Structure 1
Amino acid sequence: MSQAITQIQPGPLAALPALFTPDAKTAKRTVEFFTAQIRNPNTRRAYARAASRFAAWCAEHGLLDLQVVEPVHVAAYIETLQLQMTAPSVKLQLAALRVLFDWLVVGQVIPVNPASSVRGPKHSMKKGKTPVLAADEARALIDAIDTSTITGLRDRALIGLMVYTFARVGAVIKMQVEDVYVQGRRTWIRLHEKGGKQHEMPCHHNLDEYLHAYLNAAQPGAKAYLFCTAMGRSRALSSRPMSQSDVWRMIARRAEQAGIKTKIGCHTFRATGITEYLRNGGKLEIAQQMANHESARTTGLYDRRNDQVSLDEVERILI
């Protein structure tokens, strides 16, 4: 069972904790949860860490069998976590336990879900924490990229795609060359989003230029990944797609070269694009569609127009 988990996603549950291995049935059902039920690798990784953390806490408190775990134990665990983590992190830990225990209840491993009645910490967020660039900073970063190399053309196209389409980095790195296509005399892109959903958008004229400059130089096959890693000192591109960590390191390097002090990441360009779209008269409901968000409230977390209002008001303090 542990080998099945490792083959799909190495992580904390590659070796199942004792709490989930009192018998073959429980172990098999737990492995099925992480291999068959959870399809998103990031979710699988996060839920595996949550399950392992809870199992370690149970072991410390003498709870060695799932059958004896009760809501009071889960509640005590959540109270402990609130001293160590932020409220959103605690809510994620509790959500992971609820889903896992539900799966075990359906599989008749345990009679009831001990986490279902436990309430997590209250948390309300009206503005996200993702660092955002001003329009001139984003422009400076893109313009500072040396496009005389294939990696420079790749990086400009990748950053431009995230800015102008509000794309998640996870969707961008899964793109193949055939996901850039012409329709109605305009270049379009196709993003493969969470849950197997496809999201298509026309390209901004700047993005159109960046993508075609890159593709004309790289000349990849239609079935090749769109953004691939560089090979050694030659800087030629390999056939291996960039990972999220590859993109994060590239962004950090490009930001340093451009003299940008803000600690930005992959999500920065999604938030920057949404903010600038709304600042220039765009509608929130359209931004929601472009970002492929389920809720306009989620899109609103990326809206930082009020940051500029606050800054302007602070400058009125003439001392």
Structure 2
Amino acid sequence: MNWKQGLQDYQHYMKIERGLSDNSIFAYTQDLQKLVDYLNQYEIRYSPVEIGQETIQQFIYELAKIINPRSQARIISGLKGFFTYLIFEDYRTDNPMDLIESPKIGRKLPDTLSSTEIDQLIGNIDLGKSEGERNRAMLETLYGCGLRVSELINLKLSDLYFEEDFIKVTGKGEKQRFVPIGQVAKKYVNLYRNEVRNHLKIQNGHEDYLFLNRRGKQLTRAMIFTIIKRLAEKMGLQKNISPHTFRHSFATHLLEGGADLRAIQQMLGHESITTTEVYMHVNRKHLHEVLLGHHPRNKVMDETSQTQVGGES
């Protein structure tokens, strides 16, 4: 087995067996290609079956000179997955990554938008343009349902169950889930459908996609990023935001409002509750308020204080 065949087989495995999205498969392949490029650069002729820990350790040492620890950790994780696959397929009996440790990295918490900032951001949309109604509906759906950008652009008319107040979302690995949708998002989606989308000349194959560009085709991820970046610049927002910021804000605001963590996990489509906890970037003031309002010792102190203030005869 050579590297070209190994990567092709692994891509097929990731798509068929693991059900990963095209974007995820591309990212894993790009990371593995870095190892292949390193081997070619130094004319190292080990195949995927022959390569050992020492060679890979040297590759990672060179890699650490040019990329940050978080990217190193991602590549190491990808390599571990690839060699585990080779063991699974009986190409190897050992994993050369077993003794290679990832660099220590902290959890990176993205910026969150307050509800006021979200209102201001959406308020900066130019509704005088035809795409204005679409953009408002998209951002209200991103924030109101906590969607990933890929889930937003792949949302279809046939996924809308507005009578039941739900939408059907296709997430990572083609896994589907039902997510509740609020009245505000429903209102603006319907406005876009009835006032704008109905007048578009829709291209063949794109008839069921909810959000379309002016040419009647499905929107791209890059277009959503661009729309949000331009709105942030327009309002002078000093935060580095993306479509994911709306998803993060959705989860954070639900938690601050008292929502159950398990319910948030289901709405976000996370397999593990641990993943959901990364999104729960709650400020310390809120945590302090929760402690004061709910811990029994604080209730005892409140009652004692009230007794002392009232005085005893």
- What residue number does 1:168 align with? 148
Matched to 1:45, the amino acid is F
Matched to 1:274, the amino acid is A
Aligned partner of residue 65 in structure 1, secondary structure: coil
Matched to 1:215, the amino acid is R
Q: Structure 1: how far apart are the matches of 2:136 and 2:285?
A: 27
- What residue number does 1:15 align with? none
Q: Aligned pair in 2 of structure 1 residues 165, 100: CA closer, same or farther (>3 Å)? A: same
Query: What is the deviation of 1:264?
Result: 1.0
Q: Structure 2: how far apart are the matches of 1:206 and 1:281?
A: 20
What do the CA deviations read for 1:76-100 (whole angstroms, capped 9, x no partner)?
Answer: 2223333333333112111222222
- What residue number does 1:86 align with? 68
Identity %: 23
Q: Structure 2: how far apart are the matches of 1:280 and 1:37?
A: 38
Matched to 1:130, the amino acid is P
Greater Rg over alpha carbons, structure: 2
Identify unmatched segments of 5+ residues in structure 1: 1-19, 232-237, 311-319
Aligned partner of residue 214 in structure 1, secondary structure: helix
Shifted more, 83-92 versus 187-196: the winner is: 83-92
- What residue number does 1:268 align with? 245
What do the CA deviations read for 1:141-170 (whole angstroms, capped 9, x no partner)?
Answer: 112223343311111111111111111111
- What residue number does 1:122 align with? 104
Shifted more, 145-154 versus 194-203: the winner is: 145-154
Q: Structure 2: how far apart are the matches of 1:291 and 1:309?
A: 22
Matched to 1:207, the amino acid is A
- What residue number does 2:299 align with? none
- What residue number does 1:53 align with? 34
TM-score for both structures, normalised by structure 1: 0.78
- What residue number does 1:143 align with? 123
- What residue number does 1:259 align with? 236
What do the CA deviations read for 1:40-73 (whole angstroms, capped 9, x no partner)?
Answer: 2122221221122111222334421215421121
Query: What is the deviation of 1:124?
Result: 4.0
| Alignment counterpart, residue 64 of structure 1, candidates 45, 53, 74 | 45
Matched to 1:279, the amino acid is E
Tell me, yes or no, if the aligned pair for 2:162 and 2:186 is still in contact at 8 Å. no
| Alignment counterpart, residue 192 of structure 1, candidates 150, 157, 170 | 170
Indicate whether 1:177 and 2:157 are aligned.
yes
Query: What is the deviation of 1:302?
Result: 2.0
State the number of aligned residues.
277
Q: Structure 1: how far apart are the matches of 2:91 and 2:266?
A: 41
Matched to 2:172, the amino acid is K
Aligned partner of residue 131 in structure 1, secondary structure: coil
Q: Aligned pair in 2 of structure 1 residues 40, 161: CA closer, same or farther (>3 Å)? A: same
Shifted more, 54-63 versus 205-214: the winner is: 54-63
What do the CA deviations read for 1:207-258 (whole angstroms, capped 9, x no partner)?
Answer: 1111111111112789421111224xxxxxx1x2111111000111222233
Shifted more, 113-122 versus 277-286: the winner is: 113-122
Indicate whether 1:44 and 2:28 are aligned.
no
Query: What is the deviation of 1:265?
Result: 0.6
TM-score for both structures, normalised by structure 2: 0.79
Indicate whether 1:76 and 2:53 are aligned.
no
Tell me, yes or no, if the aligned pair for 2:252 and 2:282 is still in contact at 8 Å. yes
| Alignment counterpart, residue 293 of structure 1, candidates 270, 284, 292 | 270
Tell me, yes or no, if the aligned pair for 1:131 and 1:265 is still in contact at 8 Å. no
Tell me, yes or no, if the aligned pair for 2:109 and 2:281 is still in contact at 8 Å. no
Q: Structure 2: how far apart are the matches of 1:190 and 1:30?
A: 33
Q: Structure 1: how far apart are the matches of 2:113 and 2:257?
A: 15
Tell me, yes or no, if the aligned pair for 1:275 and 1:304 is still in contact at 8 Å. yes
Aligned partner of residue 264 in structure 1, secondary structure: coil
Query: What is the deviation of 1:34?
Result: 1.7
Shifted more, 242-251 versus 88-97: the winner is: 88-97
Q: Structure 1: how far apart are the matches of 2:80 and 2:275?
A: 23
Aligned partner of residue 200 in structure 1, secondary structure: strand
Matched to 2:120, the amino acid is A
Q: Structure 2: how far apart are the matches of 1:109 and 1:274?
A: 43
Identify unmatched segments of 5+ residues in structure 2: 288-313
Tell me, yes or no, if the aligned pair for 2:113 and 2:249 is still in contact at 8 Å. yes
Query: What is the deviation of 1:27?
Result: 3.9
Matched to 1:164, the amino acid is G
Indicate whether 1:244 and 2:226 are aligned.
no
- What residue number does 2:135 align with? 155
